[in-house]
Each structure stands twice: as structure tokens, then as C-alpha cells.
């Protein structure tokens, strides 16, 4: 199995452990990733707030480069914000030759042309749809019995394009969690919004949303995320919100491939658990 790979900017910086653990997990399941050559920023959540055409042209450039590798048409994207930006171009150009022409007039001077052949796939989509619990079982090295996991999906892998899960009540991570022997923490916050970049521009509002998610996770051993922005929001402000609300909200926050990777026998070092900002002592004890 082979995919083209778009890591995106966060995965080279603040979300390095998501990059490392995704690559390690895929390798251990026999999946090959081909990083898109000279990829550039997809525009994150900022381009969309600055210019409509820029928000499509930035991801389009990466898709056009990926198209040059003809035999692999699926692009695997771990970051939900990058995923949606790239997916938008795939979806919007599908039946819109005018838009495709406009984007190509922007890419033309760089000798790039978008034909619309690429399929943009979220990491969770690939793990759920192409690999599934059976593949995980096949490679399982240690059962994570006794761990209760709250799956957090966030927004942009679910909406507005419902590709692999229910956009209101997502459940695709549940079979993966049970496949590694862990239990599911029942909650209602899986598909709710963490406020995205509000923590930077509207901190009071952002922290309120994050606080609600952390509260509902009480009783779980960890929240599992599939997006660097969700991960950072949930792990970086726990002390601040706890102080504000006068309640202890400390909670382990892991990326999905870190959890599955650990069950598949990868070491904490291979999954870079040292880079996470919030892993509680009691959780660490459970891992050993």
C-alpha cells in the first residue's frame, strides 16, 4: 500500500510527534508514504480569512505537484485543517471547469497544472477504511486493557464533507480503540469544536470551549486527537482553565497514531511521547 504524504507546517514544528508517530505507525503496518516534493503551506485557517482565491491556490499548488507522481493518486494528510483545505480544492474543482481554469492560470507561471486526479484522504479515513481493526489485530503486540479513551474528532475532518464518518455523531475511532484492547469513554464532545485559533485571538471564548471538552472527558485516561490544532488547544491550557474554573482538568492528550503505535509495539521514544505537553503521571504508570 502506497500513499503520497502531505505533512503540513505544524507537523514540522509544534506537532512533530504527530509526524513521527504517523510515519512509524504506517511503516509498522507495511504502508509506504511518499512525501510530496517541495510542498508548501496549505494556507491553514488564515488564508481563508484573507483571500478566497489564495485559500484555494495554496492547496492547489500541492495537489498539482502530487499529480506528477502518476501511479499514486491518494494523498494521506494527518492534519485536519490541511486536509480540509486540500479536500476543498478536490471537491470544488470537480464539476467546475471555470474554477479549475482560474486556478491553473495562477499555477501556470510555475509550470504546474491541476487536472483534478488526486484523492485527498485524512489519516483517520485511511486507518479506518483501508486498514481497519483487522490490520491492527494482525500487528498487535500489547493489549492496552484498562485504558479508557475519549475519541476526539473535532470539526474539519467531518464537516462540511462527510467522507468516512457521521458528521454529527462520529464513531469511526471506536473500533480502532477496541481493537487495541482499550475501552471507550462515552461522551458527547467528540465532534464538537475546540475553538480553533480562538485561543490566540479570542482567548476567553477559546478557553471556554476547550474547558467544556476537558470537563466532559473526566473519567477517561486520555483524549485521542487527530489534528495538531485540537491537540495544542486541549493540552496547552489545562492549568490555566483549571485555575479559572477552580477544578482539576489535567488530562493526557495523545495523537491517535501514538496510541495505536504503542499497542503495535513501538516504543515511547519511537512515538515521541516526550514531546507531548500533557501526559499525566498516572497515565505514564499505566503504560509501563
Partner 1 sequence: MGNTAGLQKEIGAISTFADLAPIRKMIRSCIQCGTCTASCPNEFAMDFTPRRLWRMVLMDQTEDIFESKTFVLCSSCYFCTLRCPRGLPLTEAMSALKQIATRKKLPKFKESVNFYSCFIESVRRHGRVNEAEFMTRYFARLKNPLIPLRFAPLGVRLMMKGKISMLPPIKQARPLESIFRSVEALEERK
Return the residue of 2, 30, 53, 113 that touches partner 1, per CB under 8 A.
53
Q: Which stretch binds partner 1 (CB under 8 A): 126-134, 156-164, 169-177, 246-254?
A: 156-164
Q: Within a 10 A sphere around the Cβ of 261, how many other Cβ atoms?
A: 28
φ, ψ for residue 17, nearest 5 deg = -65, -25
Return the residue of 164, 275, 280, 286 that touches partner 1, per CB under 8 A.
275
Residues of span 122-141 touching partner 1 by CB under 8 A: none
Those residues with Cβ within 8 angstroms of residue 202's Cβ, 6 or more apart along the chain or in another chain: 195
Those residues with Cβ within 8 angstroms of residue 12's Cβ, 6 or more apart along the chain or in another chain: 19
Measured CA to CA in angstroms, residue 25 lies from 93, 140, 263 at distances of 32, 12, 10
Least distance in angstroms from the C-beta of 155 to partner 1: 4
Site for partner 1 contains 151 (CB under 8 A): no
Least distance in angstroms from the C-beta of 144 to partner 1: 25
Site for partner 1 contains 99 (CB under 8 A): no
Site for partner 1 contains 91 (CB under 8 A): no
Measured in whole angstroms, how far is the alpha carbon of residue 42 from the centre of its chain? 14
Residues of span 102-121 touching partner 1 by CB under 8 A: 102, 105-110
Site for partner 1 contains 169 (CB under 8 A): no
Nearer to partner 1, 33 or 277 (CB): 277
Nearer to partner 1, 73 or 201 (CB): 201
DSSP assignment string, 161-223: --SSS-SSS--TTHHHHHHTTPEEPP-S-TTS---TTHHHHSHHHHHHHHHHHHHHTBTBSEE
Nearer to partner 1, 77 or 136 (CB): 77
Q: Which stretch binds partner 1 (CB under 8 A): 40-48, 71-79, 179-187, 247-255?
A: 40-48
| Contact mark string toward partner 1, 220..259, x via CB under 8 A | ----------------xx----------------------
Burial tier of 192 (Cβ tally within 10 Å: 0-12, 13-18, 19+): middle
Task: State the Cα–Cα distance between residues 269 and 219, nearest whole angstrom.
Answer: 27
Return the residue of 33, 46, 99, 184 that touches partner 1, per CB under 8 A.
46
Task: State the Cα–Cα distance between residues 89 and 103, nearest whole angstrom.
Answer: 10
Amino acid at each position: 500500500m502506497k500513499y503520497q504524504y502531505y505533512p503540513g507546517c505544524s507537523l514540522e514544528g509544534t506537532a512533530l510527534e504527530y509526524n513521527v508517530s504517523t510515519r512509524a505507525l504506517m511503516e509498522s503496518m507495511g504502508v509506504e508514504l511518499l512525501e510530496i516534493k517541495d510542498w508548501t503551506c496549505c494556507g491553514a485557517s488564515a488564508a481563508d480569512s484573507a483571500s478566497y482565491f489564495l485559500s484555494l491556490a495554496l492547496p492547489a499548488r500541492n495537489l498539482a505537484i502530487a499529480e506528477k507522481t502518476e501511479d499514486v493518486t491518494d494523498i494521506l494528510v494527518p492534519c485536519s485543517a490541511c486536509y480540509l483545505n486540500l479536500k476543498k480544492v478536490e471537491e470544488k474543482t470537480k464539476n467546475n471547469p471555470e474554477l479549475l481554469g482560474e486556478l491553473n492560470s495562477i499555477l501556470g507561471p510555475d509550470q504546474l497544472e491541476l487536472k483534478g486526479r488526486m484523492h485527498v484522504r485524512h489519516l483517520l479515513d485511511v486507518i479506518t477504511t483501508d486498514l481497519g481493526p483487522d490490520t491492527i489485530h494482525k500487528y498487535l503486540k500489547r493489549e492496552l486493557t484498562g485504558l479508557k479513551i475519549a475519541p476526539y474528532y473535532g470539526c474539519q475532518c467531518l464537516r462540511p464533507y462527510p467522507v468516512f464518518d457521521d458528521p454529527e455523531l462520529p464513531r469511526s475511532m471506536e473500533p480502532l480503540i477496541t481493537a487495541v484492547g482499550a475501552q471507550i469513554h462515552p461522551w458527547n464532545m467528540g465532534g464538537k469544536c475546540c475553538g480553533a485559533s480562538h485561543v490566540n485571538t479570542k482567548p476567553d471564548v477559546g478557553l471556554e470551549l476547550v474547558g467544556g471538552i476537558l470537563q466532559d472527558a473526566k473519567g477517561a485516561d486520555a483524549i485521542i486527537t487527530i489534528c495538531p490544532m485540537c491537540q495544542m488547544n486541549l493540552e496547552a491550557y489545562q492549568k490555566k482553565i483549571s485555575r479559572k474554573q477552580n477544578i482539576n482538568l489535567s488530562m493526557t492528550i495523545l495523537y491517535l497514531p501514538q496510541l495505536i503505535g504503542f499497542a503495535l509495539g513501538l516504543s515511547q521514544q519511537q512515538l515521541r511521547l516526550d514531546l507531548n505537553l500533557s501526559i499525566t503521571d498516572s497515565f505514564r504508570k499505566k503504560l509501563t
